[in-house]
């Protein structure tokens, strides 16, 4: 029965419906993070990106595995199509394709790992997305990731455990101490501290030397 449930509602789908990437909660924290980092998001394309960027987790059997890593593709394609259609009926339809492609990259490279892999700069959406994790209170976040089941994957890979993609990240002493507790609250403190530190360090778009790979 559990196997059937996981096939019908894999962890990525649960994450989007009610977990860490909940489509009715997470976008608002990304918007709040953007406001804190860059000022009020006054373009409709930004709000569309906030809503669409993580929808690619739908149907994924993991969050940080090979399948989960491809999650930015769906949202980036959806944003590109939406911008293209809107630009075609605007005053400068001849630039529609180029503008749409720019927004595609903006959404796609909200993944710092994909940006590192492709040798391109991460987008500002990446920075806001990281800070959003630190802005959401634990009492709202932890019950959702526990209910969705994604919490156990996150904890199993945190700090580079089990050969995860996070191995080699320069964790601060505070982050490492929190992760070493081996508790859910400790993991959450470590994760949010790292996300806040990464976002504030890279707010200005400087080269990302923290993310492994490349």
Q: What is the pLDDT of residues 93-114, one digit of tens each?
A: 999 999 999 999 999 999 999 9
The pair of three-digit structure tokens given for residue 52, joined into one six-digit string: 């669409």
Other beta carbons less than 10 A from residue 100's beta carbon: 20
Asked whether residue 210 is domain-assigned, the answer is no
Q: How far is CA 167 from CA 45, 204, 214, in A?
A: 34, 25, 13
**Nearest of 86, 79, 28, 81 to residue 55 by alpha carbon:** 79
Other beta carbons less than 10 A from residue 3's beta carbon: 7
Across the chain, mean pLDDT equals: 95
Write out the residue range of the structural domain in which residue 25 sits: 2-202
Instruction: Give the integer Cα–Cα distance in Å for 46 and 27.
Output: 10
Asked whether residue 74 is domain-assigned, the answer is yes
Asked whether residue 195 is domain-assigned, the answer is yes
pLDDT band at 5 (very low <50, low <70, confident <90, very high): low
Count: domains in the chain: 1
Asked whether residue 214 is domain-assigned, the answer is no
- pLDDT for res 100: 98
Asked whether residue 70 is domain-assigned, the answer is yes
- Looking at residues 48-73, what average pLDDT do you find? 97
Asked whether residue 102 is domain-assigned, the answer is yes
- Looking at residues 128-136, what average pLDDT do you find? 98
> What phi-psi label fits residue 159: left (phi over 0), alpha (psi between -120 and 50 degrees) or beta?
left
Q: pTM (2 decimals)?
A: 0.95
Q: Does residue 55 register a pLDDT over 90?
A: yes
% of residues, the chain, pLDDT over 70: 97
């Amino acid at each position: 029965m559990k196997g059937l449930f996981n096939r019908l509602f894999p962890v990525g789908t649960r994450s989007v419906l009610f977990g860490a990437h909940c489509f009715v909660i997470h976008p608002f924290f990304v918007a709040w993070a953007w406001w804190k980092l860059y000022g009020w998001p006054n373009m409709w394309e930004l709000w569309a990106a906030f809503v669409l960027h993580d929808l690619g987790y739908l149907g994924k059997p993991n969050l940080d595995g090979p399948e989960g890593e491809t999650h930015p593709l769906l949202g980036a394609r959806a944003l590109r199509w939406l911008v293209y259609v809107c630009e075609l009926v605007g005053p400068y339809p001849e630039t529609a394709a180029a503008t749409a492609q720019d927004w595609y990259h903006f959404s796609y490279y909200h993944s710092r790992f994909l940006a590192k892999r492709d040798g391109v700069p991460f987008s500002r959406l990446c920075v806001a997305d990281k800070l959003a994790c630190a802005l959401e209170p634990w009492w709202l976040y932890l019950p959702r990731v526990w209910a969705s089941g994604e919490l156990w994957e996150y904890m199993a890979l945190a700090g580079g455990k089990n050969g995860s993609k996070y191995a080699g990240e320069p964790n601060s002493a505070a982050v490492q101490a929190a992760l070493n507790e081996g508790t859910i609250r400790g993991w959450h403190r470590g994760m949010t501290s790292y996300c806040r530190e990464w976002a504030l360090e890279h707010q200005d778009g400087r080269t990302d030397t923290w993310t492994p790979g490349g």
